[in-house]
Amino acid sequence: MSKGDAAVASNAAIAQLRAGLGGATPALVVVFASTKQPLAEVAARFEKEFAGAVVVGASTAGEFTERGDAKGGIAAIAVAGEFRAYAAMGVGLRAAPEAAVSSALASLPQAEASHPFRTALLLLDPLAGNGEEVTLMVAAALGEQPIAGGAAGDDLEMTRTIVSCGARAESDALVVVQLFSKEPLGLGVCHGHRPLSKPLRVSRAHGAVVEEIEGRPAWDVWLEQTKAEVAPADEGGFLLQYEAGLASGEGYKIRAPLSRSGGSIQFACGIPEGSVIRITESDPPSQVASAIEAARRAKERLGGREAAGAIVFDCICRNLILGDRFVDAVSGIAKELGDAPIAGFETYGEVAMDAGDMSGFHNTTSVVLAFPK
């Protein structure tokens, strides 16, 4: 993890990766960059340095490794060993998500005979407002395989989130990595939120914009139920602390409100009119415990093999709730994985979908993708 200007931070992160690789050639390099480190510039530097590897990335709302968390920096991880990686980008996500997904997947292989296990990595622009839709489209096209990933951030500016593939960095885009391995990867997911409000019916909505709840402006209902007074500059953080929960099976699927316009609230994916939501909350201990639980589940899926490292997609809300204690969640994840190296970013949405799952876009959730030794 590195800070400084983009050149300094990139070079420092590259040097750390090189030291960790010990001369090995990576199949995949994933880089997470704050808006203070322009992803286009960072991605180009990594692409040049790791020619031959697949290099992908996302802008963030915070970055972390097993050494700690940061704002304004770069976190990166390189995956070397018995892996084959392929990646592609699709653009125009907001206006034509199906075309964007098709475009991204068209060039990706479906199988590698020598590497029978496949896992997809999905990075997307959440401000397109269709995270769940895009995740389902990717899952439908790829068939039954695990998918992990995250929605890019922009340090809570809520204006422009970016993903990269090779040296190309774009907003309104998605990036899909198809990763083939000789052993299964471990995917773990968990959140620590619980309902704060009674069930509330969305009475007017279109796409990802909820205009009214119970016949009243959505923003008014959010303030009333949380008993909060919020300064305009703090609205993004406020909304990401009090997200919407959809009853689903035994738990709640969390949906992230990202911003407001008048009385309406923009979400990271579609919320159909007539949906019943609960506004949710969480306390710091639950946030730390759920992050560690996600790591435990990922490790369990490795089937007894040790973790060589992990990529972590962690909702920005955890940092907002935990503040200085966020590092406890990060170190808890690394410790649960046997102090393996990790790199991750604070997202505006998380992707975790296993074979047979019916939904894969999450919010307020920790997603841990562990790689076996």
Partner 1 sequence: MEPDRIPLADIAAALSASLGKEKAEELVRTYAHAAGIVGDSCTFDEAMKMLESMAKADGLLGIVARFAKARWYLAHARPK
Site residues (vs partner 1, CB under 8 A): 130, 132-133, 136-137, 139-140, 144, 199, 201, 207, 246-249, 253, 269-272, 274-277, 356-359
> How far is residue 193's CA from residue 191's CA, in Å, rounded to a whole number?
6
Give 324's DSSP letter.
Answer: G
Residue with tokens 């909060």: 228
Q: Please identify, using beta-carbon distances, which residue of 34 and 130 lies nearer to partner 1.
A: 130
- Provide the minimum distance between the beta carbon of 356 and partner 1 in the complex, in angstroms, as a whole number: 7
Tokens of 366: 């920790």
Q: Please identify, using beta-carbon distances, which residue of 278 and 299 lies nearer to partner 1.
A: 278
- Provide the minimum distance between the beta carbon of 216 and partner 1 in the complex, in angstroms, as a whole number: 19
- Provide the minimum distance between the beta carbon of 142 and partner 1 in the complex, in angstroms, as a whole number: 11
Q: First CA to last CA across the chain, in angstroms? A: 22
> How far is residue 128's CA from residue 270's CA, in Å, rounded to a whole number?
10
- Provide the minimum distance between the beta carbon of 244 and partner 1 in the complex, in angstroms, as a whole number: 9
Q: Please identify, using beta-carbon distances, which residue of 41 and 354 lies nearer to partner 1.
A: 354
Q: Please identify, using beta-carbon distances, which residue of 43 and 269 lies nearer to partner 1.
A: 269
- Provide the minimum distance between the beta carbon of 105 and partner 1 in the complex, in angstroms, as a whole number: 15
> How far is residue 245's CA from residue 197's CA, in Å, rounded to a whole number?
10
- Half-sphere exposure of 292 toward its Cβ, with a 13 Å CA cutoff? 16
- Provide the minimum distance between the beta carbon of 294 and partner 1 in the complex, in angstroms, as a whole number: 18
Whether 353 contacts 359, CB under 8 Å? yes
**φ/ψ (deg, to 5) at 301:** -75, -10
- Provide the minimum distance between the beta carbon of 143 and partner 1 in the complex, in angstroms, as a whole number: 9
Q: Please identify, using beta-carbon distances, which residue of 91 and 352 lies nearer to partner 1.
A: 352
Tokens of 51: 């020619």
Q: Please identify, using beta-carbon distances, which residue of 43 and 120 lies nearer to partner 1.
A: 120
Q: Please identify, using beta-carbon distances, which residue of 103 and 359 lies nearer to partner 1.
A: 359
Tokens of 187: 């995917």
| CA distance to 136, 262, 286, per residue, from 311 (Å) | 21, 37, 21
Going by their DSSP bridges, the two strands 276-281 and 200-206 should be labelled as antiparallel
Closest C-alpha among 349, 368, 347 to residue 61: 347
